[in-house]
Amino acid sequence: MLVALNDGYFKTTGTDFDHILPPISRFGGKRKTIKERVAEKLNAFYEKYFDIF
């Protein structure tokens, strides 16, 4: 979260983002949709509260 505040955006690649995701199987195709949904929610939260920080 602090890195996102400094950079101005959420990085959705790498292991940092994967650590906040719920346990998801890499097989079956659901991982991509869940990852996108979590990224959208984090970006909405960030945009809503960015002015406070």
Each residue's pLDDT tens digit, 5-18: 667 667 777 787 88
C-alpha closest to that of 37 among 22, 15, 19: 22
Domain borders along the chain are 24-51
Q: pLDDT tens across 24-46, in order?
A: 888 888 888 988 998 898 888 88
**pLDDT grade for 23, boundaries at 50, 70 and 90:** confident
Give 4-11's long-range contacts (Cβ < 8 A, gap of 24+).
Answer: 4/42, 4/46, 5/50, 5/53, 9/43, 9/46, 10/39, 10/42, 10/43, 10/46
Q: What is the rounded CA–CA span in Å between residue 4 and residue 17?
A: 11
Task: Read off the pTM.
Answer: 0.69
Q: What is the rounded CA–CA span in Å between residue 14 and residue 42?
A: 16
